[in-house]
Amino acid sequence: MIRLHTSEKDYRPFRFAKCMITTIVLGLFAGSNVFGEANRESTPELKVGSKAFTESVVLGEMLCHLGREAGANVEHLAELGGTQILWNALVSGEIDAYVDYTGTIREEILAEAARKGIQVQSEEQMRQELARRGILMSAAVGFNNTYAMGMREVLAERLSIRKISDLKNHPDLEYGLSDEFRERRDGWNALAAHYGITTQNIRTMDHNLAYRGIVHDAIQVTDIYTTDAEISFYRLRVLEDDLDYFPTYHAVVLMRSDLEKRAPNAAKAFLKMEGLIDPSEMSGMTGRVRLQNQMEAFVAGDFLNNKLQMNRPLPSTSPAAQWKRVADRLFKTTMEHLFLVAVSLGLAILVAVPLGISAARSERVANVVLGVVSVIQTLPSMALLVFMIPLFGLGALPAIAALFFYSLLPIVRNTYAGLRQIPAATRESAEVLGLDQNSRLRLVELPLALPSILSGIKTAAVINVGTATIGALIGAGGYGSPILTGIRLSSISLILQGAIPAALLAILAQWGFGMLEKKLVSPGLRPPR
């Protein structure tokens, strides 16, 4: 026999909804305090960005050290992905400065200007065109880090390959190319056409993973940066660009023009990077990070202290300090991950349950609602995340929005299914008791559908825990941060610092909702073990 709840006081789902709303509000409040720094009127608050490769991260840390030495509070949004993400973030004010390369500026950032017939070949022409967009460009940092093609020295010698032109005589070679090089205007497609290379044996992969692939002979040719420390460490041959395809890639600082008014000392300090680093010094710094496992902040600070006679405090390298950093990182990433999951899931519950109820009441509405949320679920997570950036910028908001959309399908579908599976006799009994439609929903239908609804919420929570790791690509933090850094540095320990807690959190979410089901669902309605 099914007991009908006759009062809101005894209606457990209401208490659950109130609990979820309270959790969301507290999460938003806590997130704003935990992850946002208090505004200080006298101290400029700046953000520096960097791309997802080691050299860019080291240069970003240099800008941070210089800005802090000039009295600013500087936050480093590291490993934000490719050129377009960094450039759009700079133009929109999400970040204040980052280091890019003249070849990338000419071929990618100012490509539209070139198509309109505006000359942007020289650095001065680039500087003028960027200034029209509110961006200042420094003089060259001091080294040219152009693209090149590389392969193992032993294999290149055996096949007599010394220049890029020789590759067209070996169409059977396996190529491993970074995604950005594969797509950019001065990347692979134009290079292959320029040299007449017709191979189809191409894999797209992370730039840092390509080195591991080439060492283990999973691939034979890859795109490289000429200052990469791995070139000498793995004994690679840099193939001669005999047809002069690759342009010059001088590293330069890009910063917002309003920085000269908002933080003049920091803007002036950033320009100390001009002419500061020669190619061997840059290669040495990336080698210390990637091959000697030193921290980017330590390497950058140590270089500036020696080169500019600065006195920046450096992170301690003692075992105790390293363990403390691991613990601090674990606490920080856990709080960030919980924030992303809790807020996105809470918002999804508030939206998806009413959508599921509406779908259950009308087959026409069901077709539309279930169709839309199903299509959203099929979108690749990275693509959905990128779609959110123009709307919400960088950080937690676009990640929360993407996770919210991914949470809709399981909750809507299970709410719909749970309500539709209620026996007709039960509905008729409620009508005989004189309950109106809303009362039947509140006192009969939702309690009976609650096991199915909770199952959908549990599924959405587990999905969110895993998907939230990609939020690190746009500065949202979470367990994805050590995972991305570990991939970049080929560090299994760093990858595990993100992967293991994420797996444990997913298990905890599964267990927690199981306990919640025992508390909220009447014993007679629980699914059999």
- Residue pair 136/99 in contact (Cβ under 8 Å)? The answer is no
pLDDT of residue 28 exceeding 70, the answer is no
Q: Per-residue pLDDT averaged across 492-519, rounded?
A: 88
Q: For residue 277, count other CB atoms closer than 10 A to its CB.
A: 23
302-355 pLDDT, tens digit per residue, is 999 999 988 888 887 788 888 888 898 899 999 999 999 999 999 999 999 999
Tell me which residue has tokens 């030193």: 294
* Spatial CA neighbour of 445 closest among 468, 470, 476, 424: 424
Q: What is the pLDDT of residue 66?
A: 95
Integer Cα distance of 339 and 464 in angstroms: 11
What Å distances lie between residue 165 and 203, 246, 389, 465, CA to CA? 20, 13, 40, 47
Instruction: Tell me: pLDDT of 32 over 60.
Output: no
Q: Kindly report, residue by residue over 367-378, the tens digit of the pLDDT.
A: 999 999 999 888
Give the residue-averaged pLDDT of 27-52.
Answer: 64
For residue 301, pLDDT beyond 90: yes
The one-character DSSP state at 166 is G
pLDDT the model gives residue 183: 79
> Which one is predicted more confidently, 518 or 457?
457
Rounded to whole angstroms, the Cα distance separating 462 from 405 reads 14
Tens-place pLDDT, residues 101-116:
998 898 888 888 767 7
Strand partners, 44: none
Q: Does domain 45-144+249-315 have CATH number 3.50.50.60?
A: no
Q: Measured between alpha carbons, how far is 50 from 319 in angstroms, rounded to an integer?
A: 28
Q: How far apart, in whole angstroms, are the C-alpha atoms of residue 337 and residue 396?
A: 10
- Between 445 and 312, whose confidence is greater? 312
Question: What is the 8-class DSSP label of residue 39?
Answer: P
Task: Please determine whether the domains at 8-34+321-525 and 147-238 fall in the same fold group of CATH.
Answer: no
Per-residue pLDDT, 229: 85
| pLDDT value of residue 523 | 64
Average pLDDT over every residue of 490-505: 88
Q: What is the pLDDT of residue 529?
A: 56
Identity of the amino acid at 25: V
Mean pLDDT over 273-278 rounds to 93
CATH T-level assignment (fold) for domain 8-34+321-525: MetI-like fold (1.10.3720)
Residue 266 banded pLDDT, cuts 50, 70, 90: very high
Share of the chain above pLDDT 70, in %: 88
Domain ranges in the chain? 8-34+321-525, 45-144+249-315, 147-238
413: CB partners within 8 A, 6+ apart: 356, 370, 373, 456
Chain segment 68-91, per-residue pLDDT in tens = 999 999 999 988 877 888 998 999
Q: What is the mean pLDDT of residues 274-288?
A: 91
Is residue 52 within 8 Å of residue 36, measured between CB atoms? no
Whether residue 242 has pLDDT greater than 70 = yes
Residue 430's pLDDT band, with cuts at 50, 70 and 90, is low
Average pLDDT over residues 159-181: 91
What value does the mean pLDDT take over residues 398-420?
90
- The pLDDT of residue 404 is 92
The candidate with the shortest Cα–Cα distance to 485, out of 131, 105, 80, 28, is: 80
Q: Which token pair is 371?
A: 């169709």
Model confidence band, residue 441 (pLDDT cutoffs 50, 70, 90): confident
Spatial distance between the Cα atoms of 439 and 445, rounded to a whole number of angstroms: 9
For 330, the enclosing helix (H) or strand (E) is helix 319-361
3-state helix, strand, coil in the chain (%, to 5): 65, 10, 25
Q: DSSP for 343-393, please give it.
A: HHHHHHHHHHHHHHHHHHH-HHHHHHHHHHHHHHHHS-HHHHHHHHHHHH-
Is 189's pLDDT higher than 60? yes
236-238 and 147-152 strand pairing: antiparallel
DSSP 422: S
Residue 212 has pLDDT above 90, yes or no: no
What kind of fold does domain 147-238 have according to CATH?
Answer: D-Maltodextrin-Binding Protein; domain 2 (3.40.190)
Residue 184: pLDDT over 50: yes
Locate 475 and state its tokens.
């500065």
Rounded Cα distance, 222 and 508, in Å: 41
Model confidence band, residue 491 (pLDDT cutoffs 50, 70, 90):
confident
89 close to 63: Cβ distance less than 8 angstroms: no
Cα gap 257→255, rounded to integer Å: 6
Q: Residue 392: what pLDDT?
A: 84
Tell me the pTM. 0.76
CB-neighbour burial class of residue 30 (10 A; exposed 0-12, middle 13-18, buried 19+): middle
> What type of residue sits at position 526?
R
pLDDT at 211: 86
pLDDT value at residue 19: 52
Q: Which of 337, 340, 336 is nearest to 348 (CA)?
A: 340
Predicted local confidence at residue 35, as pLDDT: 44
Q: What pLDDT is attached to residue 314?
A: 84
For residue 74, how far is the Cα from the chain centroid?
20
- Asked if pLDDT for residue 204 goes beyond 70, the answer is yes
Task: Compute the mean pLDDT over every residue in the chain, rounded to the nearest whole number.
Answer: 84
pLDDT(207) > 90: no
DSSP state for residue 96 in the 8-state scheme: S
Q: pLDDT band for 386, please (50, 70, 90 cuts).
A: confident
β-strand partners of 339: none
Q: How confident is the model at residue 246 (pLDDT cuts 50, 70, 90)?
A: confident
